[in-house]
């Protein structure tokens, strides 16, 4: 249950241990774009903007299974479960400390 603007931590792979904010999520392919994590080099052909071509560095997506949401209260990477509250609303709850993971937007 990762959403846009959540703070996540990478738990496996080359980028293990890095944290960042979620920029976008592709639910179809199950991938997530995290700010400042998993940079790749993109080679551009010659154009009017880049007369000699260019090499730019940009973030690439990670699979959803490789990231965990960081709980605001216990500050640990965890899974979030959905729980129905007394007033009928739903909230995301940390499985470790049983507190709300992030404020709802």
Question: pLDDT per residue over 65-102, tens digit each?
Answer: 999 999 988 889 998 888 888 888 888 888 888 887 86
Q: What is the pTM of this model?
A: 0.81
Q: How confident is the model at residue 103 (pLDDT cuts 50, 70, 90)?
A: low
- In degrees to the nearest 10, what's the CA dihedral of 30, 31, 34, 39? 160
Q: CATH code for 7-45+53-94?
A: 2.30.30.30
Whether 24 and 33 have beta carbons less than 8 Å apart is answered as yes
Q: Kindly report, residue by residue over 30-56, the tens digit of the pLDDT.
A: 999 999 999 999 999 999 999 999 999
Domain ranges, ordered by start, for the chain = 7-45+53-94
């Amino acid at each position: 249950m990762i959403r846009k603007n959540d703070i996540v931590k990478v738990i496996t792979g080359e980028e293990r241990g890095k944290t960042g904010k979620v920029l976008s999520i592709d639910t179809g392919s199950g991938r997530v774009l995290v700010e400042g994590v998993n940079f790749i080099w993109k080679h551009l052909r010659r154009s009017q903007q880049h007369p000699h071509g260019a090499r730019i560095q940009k973030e690439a997506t990670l699979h959803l299974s490789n990231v965990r949401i960081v709980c605001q209260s216990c500050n640990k990477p965890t899974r979030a479960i959905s729980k129905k509250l007394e007033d009928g609303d739903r909230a995301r709850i940390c499985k470790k400390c049983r507190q709300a993971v992030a404020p709802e937007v």
